[in-house]
Amino acid sequence: MVRHLYVHIPFCPKVCPYCSFYKEASDRNKTQGFLEALLTEAKMFGGRLRPETVFFGGGTPTALSTPQLQFLIGGLRERVDFSALKEFTIEMNPATVSLEKAAALLDLGVNRVSMGIQSWDDRLLKTLGRVHSAAQARRSYGILREAGVKNINLDLIFGIPGQSVGEWHESLLRTIELGPDHISAYCLTYEEDTEYFERFTRGEYAPEEGRDADFFEMAMDLLPAAGFGQYEISNYSRLGRECLHNLAYWQGAEYAGLGPSAFSTCSGVRRRNIANTSEYIRRTENGLDRHDFEELVPEALRHSEITAFALRTKFGISTAGADPQIVVALEANGLVETSSGRLTLTRKGKLVADSVAAELL
Answer with the entry of ligand SAM, ligand SF4, none that 15 interacts with (C-beta below 5 to 8 A by kind): ligand SF4
Answer with the entry of ligand SF4, ligand SAM, none that 217 interacts with (C-beta below 5 to 8 A by kind): none
- Sequence-separated (6 or more) residues with CB below 8 Å from residue 284: 37, 40, 41, 290
Binding ligand SF4 (rule: CB under 6 A), the pick from 2, 7, 9, 12 is: 12
The nearer residue to ligand SF4, 60 or 235, going by C-beta atoms, is: 60
Q: Is 105 in the site for ligand SF4 (CB under 6 A)?
A: no
Q: In angstroms, what is the minimal distance from the CB of 111 to ligand SF4?
A: 21
Q: In angstroms, what is the minimal distance from the CB of 137 to ligand SF4?
A: 12
Cβ atoms < 10 Å from Cβ of 344: 18
- Sequence-separated (6 or more) residues with CB below 8 Å from residue 355: none
Q: Is 315 in the site for ligand SF4 (CB under 6 A)?
A: no
Q: Are 167 and 121 in contact (CB under 8 A)?
A: yes
Determine the 3-state secondary structure of 169 from DSSP: helix
The nearer residue to ligand SF4, 15 or 220, going by C-beta atoms, is: 15
Stretch that binds ligand SF4, among 18-26, 101-109, 239-247, 338-346 (CB under 6 A): 18-26
d(CA 135, CA 103): 21
User: Nearest-CA neighbor of 314 among 245, 242, 254?
Assistant: 242
Q: Is 10 in the site for ligand SF4 (CB under 6 A)?
A: no
- Sequence-separated (6 or more) residues with CB below 8 Å from residue 237: 153, 181, 182, 183, 228, 229, 231, 243
Q: What is the DSSP string of 326-351?
A: HHHHHHHTTSEEEETTEEEE-HHHHT
Q: What is the DSSP string of 18-78?
A: T--SS-EE--HHHHHHHHHHHHHHHHHHGGGEEEEEEEEEES-GGGS-HHHHHHHHHHHHH
Residues engaged in binding ligand SAM (CB under 6 A) = 12, 18-19, 21, 57-58, 60, 91, 93, 116, 118, 155, 157, 186, 188-189, 191
Q: In angstroms, what is the minimal distance from the CB of 240 to ligand SF4?
A: 27
Count of residues binding ligand SF4 (CB under 6 A)? 11
Answer with the entry of ligand SF4, ligand SAM, none that 57 interacts with (C-beta below 5 to 8 A by kind): ligand SAM
Q: Is 132 in the site for ligand SF4 (CB under 6 A)?
A: no
Q: Is 21 in the site for ligand SF4 (CB under 6 A)?
A: yes
Q: In angstroms, what is the minimal distance from the CB of 128 to ligand SF4?
A: 8
The residue ranges that bind ligand SF4 (CB under 6 A) are 12, 15-16, 19, 21, 23, 58-60, 93, 116
